[in-house]
Structure 1
């Protein structure tokens, strides 16, 4: 994720930039590329692009439940695997790398060095296992309530968590993550979050809205942890925020489904 030569420099086009962002974050055969500067100008639109990914995952869950007659737990595991596959495992390295950086002792420079190291330590592996297993458990919980639209909400709002962290962070340069952070400001964040909240309400009423709140909380937590440990943030921090954000969305919706 650190090689800017992956992108082609060209004139700015909103449609092409959105498709480039979807190409960047999924394995869908779109194959539309644009410069990193132009692509990240529409970072605030990222949650809306992943509505489509969430719909595909929800269809996968529906087929598993209604046609294959699998139980909710097996379906939850399949949905999570589908989400990881279609997104190209894009953020899992962020979970491991940031965890390794947080776990090591030392000053921010030392922690950043460990985070950017290509090797993975015990903290990274353990964190990935915890995030993955708890996310599957969260999917199982909402499926147990037959809230299939919750899959769409959690995938969309996971990007709201990422954008929240980007808003609250200072960029570590060089790196692709720095472009996303620089292009996130209070105005486009507010527009994005309000629209995401409206869509979540349409999909799940108050439960969906509570899920978005969970995403914001997750993003704030990751931004705070990153600031205390690294001062600055990079793509690994944003990746961690995406995965933890999805988990917090599921956690908040699971609680809301019980009480609302």
Structure 2
């Protein structure tokens, strides 16, 4: 039986650039406890969301948010998104697309998907920068936790497309592990300021929705899922989560 605290340490080491010193034992514990992934979402979301309390212009707030977000999370998931973009642009069978995923060079498809996702993320954050700081903070946290919940869905319901880092996660988890992750993610919509509960729910729910899309694409295009698909889910779900959340906040 793995120590849950060791699993959390492994999750932080794997999903962020924080120097927590995770080793083999922490990695093994993390793989056995997927619910630790949304926990890291709270950490990353809170750190990046704190930028919305800065007494500066909205564009500077968003810039600070992006700097903290990627400075803390690193570029691993963004790299996965770029690889998926290249695979989407390839004509061929699943084997050909899997070869593209393994290619370290980034093509036009990868650069385009990465650039569009970054623009969507930036515009989503700009949509509520300069408004109520606490609600903005909660939206960022909910979108980040939701993105991580989308990753867990892909891990728990997917099958490996090939051997690699992703297969080590997918092989260890099963569908039963998704329930605890949902429980961990649920507090992201609790204690919401008046009028923002639906907005936070939308920001959170975007993660599993995007996870279902990338999972389906992975099965059809690759014959399964990979670490790149898992990382791409995180980046896409965060961007969609911010837009869905702020749209529901404004409309409702």
Same fold (TM over 0.5): yes
Report the RMSD for the aligned CA atoms in angstroms: 1.8
**Structure 2: stretches of 5+ with no match in the other structure:** none
Counterpart-to-counterpart distance in 1, 2:130 and 2:172: 39
**By how many angstroms is 1:22 displaced?**
0.3
Change over 3 Å in CA distance of 1:141–1:118 after alignment to 2 = same
Please say if residues 101 and 114 of structure 1, whose CA atoms lie closer than 8 Å, have aligned partners that are also in contact: yes
Match of 2:90 in 1: 104
Match of 1:8 in 2: none
Change over 3 Å in CA distance of 1:143–1:184 after alignment to 2 = farther
Counterpart-to-counterpart distance in 1, 2:161 and 2:217: 15
> Which of 77, 86, 89 lines up with 2:75 in the alignment?
89
Counterpart-to-counterpart distance in 2, 1:202 and 1:180: 32
Match of 1:4 in 2: none
Is 1:50 paired with 2:41? yes
- SS of corresponding position for 1:43: coil
Matched ranges for 1:137-156 at <5 A: 137-146=123-132, 147-156=136-145
Match of 2:11 in 1: 21
**Structure 1: stretches of 5+ with no match in the other structure:** 1-10
Match of 1:7 in 2: none
Match of 2:51 in 1: 60
Is 1:246 paired with 2:238? yes
> Which of 103, 112, 124 lines up with 2:110 in the alignment?
124
**By how many angstroms is 1:144 displaced?**
4.6
Counterpart-to-counterpart distance in 1, 2:224 and 2:175: 18
Match of 2:163 in 1: 174
Is 1:201 paired with 2:190? yes
- SS of corresponding position for 2:242: helix
**By how many angstroms is 1:17 displaced?**
2.1
Change over 3 Å in CA distance of 1:216–1:142 after alignment to 2 = farther
Match of 1:163 in 2: 152
Please say if residues 156 and 173 of structure 2, whose CA atoms lie closer than 8 Å, have aligned partners that are also in contact: yes
Counterpart-to-counterpart distance in 1, 2:19 and 2:218: 33
Match of 2:209 in 1: 217
Aligned residue pair count: 245
Match of 1:190 in 2: 179
Please say if residues 161 and 245 of structure 1, whose CA atoms lie closer than 8 Å, have aligned partners that are also in contact: yes
**By how many angstroms is 1:125 displaced?**
0.6
Please say if residues 201 and 207 of structure 1, whose CA atoms lie closer than 8 Å, have aligned partners that are also in contact: no
Match of 1:31 in 2: 21
